[in-house]
Amino acid sequence: MTTQRRILAFSLSLASVFGTVELLKTKETQTYTCRTFGSGIVQPFQGESYYVRSDCPFTLTSFNVNQGEYSVTIRRGHNGLLVQVEIVLNNVTTLLQDGHVVVKNKSVSDPCDQKYQHIFKYGIYTRLKSSLLPFSVTWHSVCGGINSLWVTLESELNTTTSGLCGKQNVAGHRDELIRDSKLHDHKCKTSSPVLQKNDICRQFFQEIKDCVQYNNSHYQRLCEENIFGFENSQSVFCPFFKEFASQCNQSTINRFWRHLTKCAEPRCPGDLIYREKGPAVIPSCSNPKPPPFYQELTESCACPEGNVLNNGAKGYRCIPWSSCSCEFAGKSYRNGEIRRSKCHSCTCHGVVWRCSENFCRRRCVIEGPFVTTFDGKQYVLPQKCSYVASKGPNWRIRIHFSRKGLYLRKVVVRFSEELFVFKENKVLWNGQEITKFHQFQENCNAKIYWVSSTFLQVHTTSGFFFQIQLSPEIQLFIDAPDNSNYKIKGLCGNSNNNTTDDFTTKSGVIENSAEPFALSWSLGNCQGNIPTNCTKREYENYAHEKCAVLNQPTEVFAQGHPHIPTDYYYKACIQRICNSGRSQKEALCIGLASYAKACAGVGVVIGDWKKNMGCA
């Protein structure tokens, strides 16, 4: 680190210390909201709303707190909608464009938690909330752009805000706000608003005149400026009417204005129904009672009364909370059902398992493309790639897939400064082949032991521990270090006893399916897909017939049934035989061994299955 950098780092850390103090000093008085909607209506923090028609970029609001920059800049397209919004929160840029949310040049899906900001669905809107300041930006996306956006400051800042929203406590002048907020751009144009009589605007304000307290003719004028040229664009004029009708809070007005303006209620996906004032965060199987902050009411797509969103399934289905279910090893469990193993007992709570203390170590298993995470989620890798299997503060395990079959070619482990490469029947340490394994290299951070003729154990000084099987194929068993929780990442997940966040991608987004999650941890080029059906049809019958032994209650594997469901292992067994590139018998034995090892992991020893099945 250079001296300059050290000084910079030091002042930044000071800034963050003082930042906390500054935050406490802000007066908690009221909420300051500034909105922009339609084709250019601006409701500033203070003073009357105004209209601006322009395709130029503008600062909506901007301020600095503790050397951190905060700003929202907007640009409208020729369709009147916001086509580009750039939000800078404490120097982190988020771009809203073409229906995507891009944070630091990476597209994200909501919810998205980052160090200083949180992006989540807020009713029918999306909200970005800063965790440093009581500041948030909320928007509504429609086809073609954003038709409504507002920024909220929940306290008065010790600093001045500028932009179209003006100052927090002083009303600005329209023309000055527009002039001072416009950003440099050669090609864009700002035109004077056109006032042309519009019948819908007139009828609307005639009808609601009793409940809107302020200057009616001013708002009628705004309505006509907003709608001019966009008479057929509901995306432009509906948010305007919605905004004013919502101030009336009468159900008759609601029916009337939707009928008059032909602004239909937003459509909701799946079982969800639209509510003018519904929950900002929909109660779901995993979160049936969102915390108070999220219980705010807003326009929302919600489940019918008494139901919750089944977020364990696709397609926005609503079910009673008592019907929610959890998954373990490919099997579904009812809400409240208890699953016991020799290591611990777990109760299904909505879609999340709540488990007692685990007496066995949490183990990630990678057997070819079949992965079991530390927390027990099971999936199949989508492609033959190299992947980051797991990484922690000072170690990283990579797996490299074989091009030929469904197995690993090598495993590369970096622990501090030491590099281990495991290939079939060969182990390299910092580039040298090693043959003696017992208590290898006394001063090293890692020690390797042979456990059997094909099985290696690696112990590290930091308590991190894994086993590698070298033949008949390379398989990897990693034990989660104690108290590691969120510090571990990769294909093996994070070891926090919760399977719902195991598909966390490299960029920190939680995915629903294995494919985007696994590929985010891939490295370099991949060597083709991993087939999900039987590529060798002639092997199919053999596979079904032989793998069925796993499920049979009278056979040797039945001892494991109360502890580990066979569904996942049965499917994997068939897939191995069909696609592994090995002989049928060899693949079968590997498949059966996989279940036997899983049982051994929870302390259940399957009898002499190798002899029974003719596996060596």
- Candidates 164-172, 310-318, 371-379, 415-423 — which segment interacts with Ca ion by CB under 5 A? 371-379
Nearer to Ca ion, 488 or 587 (CB): 488
SS3 575: helix
Q: Which of 254, 498, 505, 559 binds Ca ion (CB under 5 A)?
A: 498
Is residue 393 reached through a cis peptide bond, with omega within 30 degrees of 0 on the bond before it? no
Is residue 57 within 8 A of residue 188, CB to CB? The reply is: yes
Round to whole Å and give the CA distance between 308 and 315: 13
- Scan for tokens 């919750």, then name that residue: 308
Nearer to Ca ion, 279 or 493 (CB): 493
C-alpha gyration radius of the chain: 30
**Least CB distance to Ca ion at residue 467 (A):** 21
**Least distance (Å) between residue 284 CB and Ca ion:** 18
Q: Does residue 472 have a cis bond before it (omega within 30 degrees)? A: yes
496: contact with Ca ion by CB under 5 A: yes
Q: Which CB, 245 or 352, lies closer to Ca ion?
A: 352
Give the residue closest to Ca ion by C-beta.
Answer: 375
Q: Could you tell me the end-to-end alpha-carbon distance of the chain, in angstroms, rounded to an integer? A: 58
Kindly state the tokens that stand for 31. 């909420």
Tell me if 358 contacts Ca ion by CB under 5 A: no
Which is closer to Ca ion, CB of 347 or CB of 496? 496
| Alpha-carbon distance values, 139 to 65, 167, 384 (Å) | 23, 21, 40
User: Considering only CA atoms, which of 217, 223, 216, 230 is closest in space to residue 201?
Assistant: 223
Whole-number minimum distance, CB 111 to Ca ion, in Å?
A: 16
Q: Please, what is the minimum distance in Å from the beta carbon of residue 319 to Ca ion?
A: 24
Q: Is-contact 446 461, C-beta < 8 A?
A: yes
Report how many residues bind Ca ion under the rule CB under 5 A: 7
DSSP 3-state of 153: strand
- For Ca ion, give the closer residue by CB, 325 or 373: 373
Q: Would you count residue 502 as binding Ca ion (CB under 5 A)?
A: yes
Q: Closer to Ca ion at the Cβ: 367 or 502?
A: 502
Stretch that binds Ca ion, among 154-162, 195-203, 374-382, 529-537 (CB under 5 A): 374-382
Which residue type, as a one-letter code, is found at position 478?
I
Among 156, 271, 296, 501, binds Ca ion (CB under 5 A): 501
Q: Rule CB under 5 A: say whether 286 interacts with Ca ion.
A: no
Of the candidate spans 171-179, 480-488, 493-501, 565-573, the one that interacts with Ca ion by CB under 5 A turns out to be 493-501
Q: Classify residue 238 as left (phi > 0), alpha (psi -120 to 50) or beta.
A: alpha
One-letter identity of residue 569: Y
Smallest distance from the beta carbon of 412 to Ca ion, in angstroms? 24
Question: 68 vs 493, which CB is nearer to Ca ion?
Answer: 493
Q: Would you tell me how many other CB atoms lie within 10 Å of the CB of residue 551?
A: 15
Residues in the chain: 616
Determine which residue in the list 367, 375, 473, 479 makes contact with Ca ion, applying CB under 5 A.
375
Q: Which range, of 128-136, 314-322, 495-503, 511-519, touches Ca ion by CB under 5 A? A: 495-503
Q: Using CB under 5 A as the criterion, which residues of the chain lie in contact with Ca ion when the complex forms?
A: 375, 493-494, 496, 498, 501-502
